[in-house]
Structures are given as structure tokens and as C-alpha cells.
Structure 1
Amino acid sequence: MDERIITVPNALSFVRLLLVPVFLWLVLGPEKDGLALLVLMISGITDYLDGKLARSLNQASKIGAILDPVADRCYILAVVIGLGFRDIIPWWLAVILPLRDVFLFGLVPFLRTRGYSSLPVHFLGKAATASLLYAFPLLLLGDSTGTVADLANVFGWAFTIWGVALYWWGGVLYAFQVRRLLVTTPRVVRA
């Protein structure tokens, strides 16, 4: 990974971050669900493209390794807040998803004692995030009437249940990775 900041993948991640407040405003302000869905679709497409382009263009960067998961977490937080305030999802769900990230953030000081700032993303975490990023637009689409809304609601809740389970399972696996690292890696002494 290099130190470059201005790359195509980083620009895509930055656009995703800029669209987070736009999404929240669309959902909570004028309740323009169609446009909010469009923003989520753009977010999903750019999430896929930034990683693919980083690899294919050889533009993987340290800032990109931070921006991408931060954008994912911001979207998940924004969506659960928006859907919670709209009573599309229950508040317990809106709390347990960000709680996992708070739990993992609490592990960072332990990682730093071993010279790490984060752990590599594993497939389970990516699968959980992908499942949730499918779930939320479907739940938003399901907040209507008709056959399409009914189907979107069913599939949205299926992805939500699966995504939450994977999200927390991934969090527990990260915690075990941190524990293993603490046991097997010597403490870094800072000057």
C-alpha cells in the first residue's frame, strides 16, 4: 500500500461519505424514499467499485484502507438511525448494530500495544456488511403498500437477520483475533 491520497478509489469513498448526510436528509426530511434508495444504490456501486479499482489500477492506499470501512460504518449508522426514526425498524436493532462497532473500537487500544491499529478485514465482515447493505434499501422499499413492498419487506428482513448475525459473529471473531494477537505477539515499547 502506498501513501497516495488522490486516487480514483479514494474519490469514490469520499463521494460515499459526502452522500451520507444527503441520505439522512432524504429519509428524515422530505421522506423522498425513491431518491434515498438511489443514494443507497450509488453507495453500494461505489463501495464495490472502489475496492475493485484499487486492485485493478494498483491504487490501494493507506487512506483508502481507512476511508472504505469508515464509509461503510457511516452508512450503516445513518440507515439504522433513519429507519429507526421512521419506525421501519425497531430501536433495539438500531442500537445493536452500532454497539458492535463500539465494542470493536474498544479493542483498538489493545491492538496498539502490539503495534497494530486495526486488523485486516475478513470475508465474514464483508459478507455481513454486504447483507446489511442489501437489507436496508429493501426495508425502505418495503415501507409502502403493494406486492413489491411486501416482497421487499420479506427479503429485507431476511437479509437483516442474516446480516446482524454475521455482523456480530464477525465482531466476535475479531475479538478472538485480538486475544490471539495479545497472547502471541510481544508488546511494542514506545520511546
Structure 2
Amino acid sequence: MSRRPAPSEHPAPGGAAVAGDRVLTVPNLISFVRLVGVPLFLYLFLVVKADVAAIVVLAVGGTSDWVDGWIARRLHQVSRLGELLDPLADRLYILATLLAFTAREVVPWQFTAALLARELLLLGSLGVLRRYGYGPPPVHYVGKTATFLLLAAFPILLLAAAAESVADVAGAIGWGLAWWGLVLYWVAGAMYVVQASRLVRAMRGRGAGAAA
């Protein structure tokens, strides 16, 4: 069976950009820069303890997540590479930030464990899809919203930990965003699992019909 992307249960509206094979695009460049920002953040936060600079890197990484998608649609530069790089950068930012935050006790380990459990669930679903010849499912807007909330929460939580004068306000805002982001992250993960199970059942049904 040839490899193919999993069809979306929420097709794009008419006029939406169609992914192409271009590599050298502005959105892809932004995604590459975001990927470079992950080890830079870890170095600033864990090695040299430059919290202010780490806050800036997180803020830029979170903002550019929205910018690259907007530019891709605006300039008609949606590409297959970009569709892979963007969620990859999102996951690396989220996982690296949470692990680093846990190491320095900015967030409790239970929060990080809850997010890692969701990633393992999704990883298992992707493995099942791959066995049936499907690629990763399209990113759902619920997942994008969850990612946005988490990436917005991280620099605010770090600000709360680094600046005692604004700790109460920043902490309340940051944790509000973080918990909503985690809930939606799990909702999106459950939606992907349901979509994967439907695809598998459909494939098995077609296989049983062909055998009959």
C-alpha cells in the first residue's frame, strides 16, 4: 500500500491554499529559525541562566508560529515541507520548554507528565496509521489553538518565576493559559485517535469485502 496523507474530517474551505513542493519559501525559513531557537532557549535557560533572554526566545518562537502560517496563506506559499516543519517546531518547543521548566521547577512534573502522555498516545496512533499506509492527519484547529495557548503561556510563566514584582499576576495569567492549552491538547489528541480508528475500520472493512 502506498503512503498517503490521512484525509481530514474537516476539509479546507474553498479557496484554501493547496500544499506544493516548494522548499525555499519565507514560511519555511521562519520554521527553520524556530527550530534553531529550541537549542538556543535550552542553552540560555539551563546553561547560562539568562532568563530574560530565554523569555525573549520563547516569545519570538510563539509569535512566529502564527506568523509563518499567516504568511504561507497570504503569499500562497503553503508547502508540504512547511506542513511537516511547523508542527515539528511546535512539538519541539513545547516538549523542550516543559522539560527545562520541570528541571528548574517552574512547572510541576505532573503537568509535564500529562502532556507527555498525550504525545505518546498520538505517537501510537501515528504508528497504526503508518501501518495502513497513511501519513499524519492534518492539523486540526483545536490542536493549533492548544499549541497557541501553551506557547503563549510559557514566556509568561517564566516571567512569573523570574520577576517577583509581577509573579502573582503573571502566574495567574500563565497558568490559566497553560491549563486551557493542556485540556485542548488532549481534546485534539482524542480527535486524532478517533479519526485514526475510523480510517483503520474503513480499511479493514474494504479488506474484508475484497476477501469475500
TM over 0.5: yes
1:69 correspondence with 2:87: yes
2:64: which partner in 1? 46
Give, in angstroms, the shift of residue 82 of structure 1.
1.1
SS in 1 for 2:78: coil
Give, in angstroms, the shift of residue 140 of structure 1.
0.5
Deviations 1:28-70 (A, max 9, x none): 1121111111101111222111111111111111110000000
Deviations 1:78-121 (A, max 9, x none): 11011101111111212221221221111123213443201111
1:95: which partner in 2? 113
* RMSD, aligned α-carbons: 1.4
- Number of corresponding residues: 187
Q: Is the 8 A contact 2:59 2:152 kept in 1?
A: no
1:125 correspondence with 2:147: no
Q: Distance in 1 between matches of 2:25 and 2:91?
A: 21
Shifted more, 8-17 versus 118-127: the winner is: 118-127
Relative contact order: is structure 1 or structure 2 higher (C-alpha 8 Å, sep ≥ 6)?
Answer: 2
Give, in angstroms, the shift of residue 182 of structure 1.
1.5
1:182: which partner in 2? 200
Matches within 5 A, 1:1-191: 1-185=19-203, 186=206
SS in 2 for 1:106: helix
Letter of the 1:96 counterpart:
A
Alignment TM-score, normalising by the size of structure 2: 0.83
Query: Which structure has the bigger radius of gyration?
Result: 2
Deviations 1:113-159 (A, max 9, x none): 44320111111101111111111111101103544221111111111
Shifted more, 28-37 versus 63-72: the winner is: 28-37
Structure 2: gaps (5+ residues): 1-18, 208-212
2:3: which partner in 1? none
Shifted more, 154-163 versus 137-146: the winner is: 137-146
| Segments of 4+ moved more than 6 angstroms | none
**Identity rate, percent:** 44
Structure 1: gaps (5+ residues): none
Q: Distance in 2 between matches of 1:100 and 1:6?
A: 33
Q: Distance in 2 between matches of 1:57 and 1:68?
A: 16
Q: Is the 8 A contact 2:149 2:181 kept in 1?
A: yes
